Amino acid sequence: MPTIKKFQVTFDCAEPERVARFWCEVLGYVVPPPPEGFDTWAEFDRSLPPGDQGAWFACVDPSGVGPRLFFQRVPEGKVVKNRVHLDVRVATGLVGEERLATLEAECARLVALGAVRERLLPADEDNESCIVMLDIEGNEFCLD
């Protein structure tokens, strides 16, 4: 029987720390402690060569269950649809008006953090409703 592997999800972005802190708020993740010998991430960052400062940031599930999220600075901007799409499960098991109310409440919370609401995909014969959103750098994700 194969072994279950842990994995990390990597985001290419322009501002790694800013995007990581946004996703901490979305998912309830936290920024891990800075490397040994540093009191803060800012102190660690200042110790790097100028070209490497602000080049990456990460966040983790405080329960240790979910994958680590890694954010790396890339020179090119987002040109077309992102290649990784997260479905943020905020209404699992809910249907109808109760599901919509839960999705809308979470959507409002995330818009206040800088996300953009794209559109509601209403329930059909096969799927329950979800809301398509954009993060603070325009990457698409869904509230599901």
* Angle formed at CA 8 by CA 6 and CA 10, multiple of 5 degrees: 165
Mean per-residue pLDDT, 97-126: 95
Mean per-residue pLDDT, 120-141: 92
**Mean pLDDT taken over the chain:** 92
C-alpha 14/C-alpha 20 separation (Å) is 11
Confidence of residue 5 (pLDDT cuts 50, 70, 90): confident
pLDDT at 6: 86
Expressed in percent and rounded to 5, the helix, strand and coil fractions of the chain are 25, 25, 50
Mean per-residue pLDDT, 110-129: 93
Q: What's the pTM value of the predicted model, to 2 decimals?
A: 0.88
Task: State pLDDT tens for residues 22-71.
Answer: 999 999 999 999 999 999 999 999 999 999 999 999 999 999 999 999 99
